[in-house]
Amino acid sequence: MASPKQQTIELVDLDLAQLSEVRKQLEEELNHLTNSFGKLKQAQTRFQDCVESVESIKLGTAGELIETNKVIVDVGTGYYVEKSFDDAVKFYTEKVEFIKKNLDTLQQTVTSKQNNLRVTVEVIQKKLSQGAASSSKS
């Protein structure tokens, strides 16, 4: 199945109502992406905390453990597995790195959307000032 071709439309060719809709859509997308960025940052922090917790337990804690070389790791969606300390640290470190890559990609997308929004606002302001100038000449 062939993918549909994307059509490029110049912002200056749109009227003010259409530009306002583009602006509104960009603001909504930017808000959603910013919220997602914050949630990913929180997840990254939680996984980093897990790495630190496993490493601190490995060093020694007060208490008695039946098996001292294994920990239970939350692998998501309510599933837990038993892993060695080193494997647990590796698991959580990989999660942190995976989220970091996603954050980098998301940051690029946010920056792009911010630039698109800025250009759209500039075009709206230009059209408004042109409209005001032409109405004052009449």
Question: Hey, CA dihedral for 73, 75, 80, 86, is it positive or negative?
Answer: negative
Confidence (pLDDT) at 64:
64
Global pTM value = 0.74
How is residue 4 annotated by DSSP?
P
What amino acid is encoded at 35 in this protein?
N
Q: Looking at residue 62, what is its pLDDT? A: 59
What residue ranges define each of the domains in the chain, with the CATH number in brackets?
22-59+71-123 (1.10.287.370)
Q: Which residue has the higher pLDDT, 63 or 134?
A: 134
Short-list 85, 100, 104, 101, CA closest to 48: 100
Which residue has tokens 């059509």?
Answer: 7
> For 12-57, what is each residue's pLDDT tens digit?
888 899 999 999 999 999 999 999 999 999 999 999 999 998 888 7
20, 21, 125, 120: which is closest to 133 by C-alpha? 125
